[in-house]
Amino acid sequence: MDTFDKVYVMMFGISNIVAGGPIYNANKIRFLESKGWNVVVFPVDSGKVYIKPLEKYNNNSYDFIHFSPYIFGKRKTEKFVEKMASLIPQSDEIIVFNFTGISNTYFFSVF
């Protein structure tokens, strides 16, 4: 796995909507990338993405992210968390930005 100086991890909705939140996040991603950040996005939904810069993240949407990890049981949740963590590159600096309650739960499990 590649190592980066700075990684910014985000989890928010990107699909089936054109709204202020996804537009803000698309602009934030563009800014962060221009400053040399590697941005990893885990969408909390799936479907048609109407905001073009967010389309590349649609493949990072996993069904388990759509639900609270508490409904799956500890062993299954640990597998899901390991899957997410495997997609986050090693880095000297990792910042986690979350937009939903479910993402808080997963991120606290990963970090």
- What six digits make up the tokens of 87? 């997609």
- In this structure, what are the phi and psi dihedrals at residue 91, rounded to the nearest 5 degrees? -160, 155
Name the one residue in this structure whose structure tokens are 């500890």: 74
Q: What are the angstrom distances between the C-alpha of 103 and each of 31, 53, 81?
A: 22, 21, 11
Residue-averaged pLDDT of the chain? 83
| Bridging pattern class, strands 90-98 and 38-43 | unpaired
The predicted pLDDT at position 89 comes to: 92
The yes-or-no verdict on residue 1 having pLDDT over 60 is no
pLDDT one-digit tens code per residue, 49-71: 999 999 999 888 777 777 777 78
Compute φ and ψ for 38, nearest 5 degrees.
Answer: -90, 120
Query: In this model, does residue 45 exceed pLDDT 70?
Result: yes
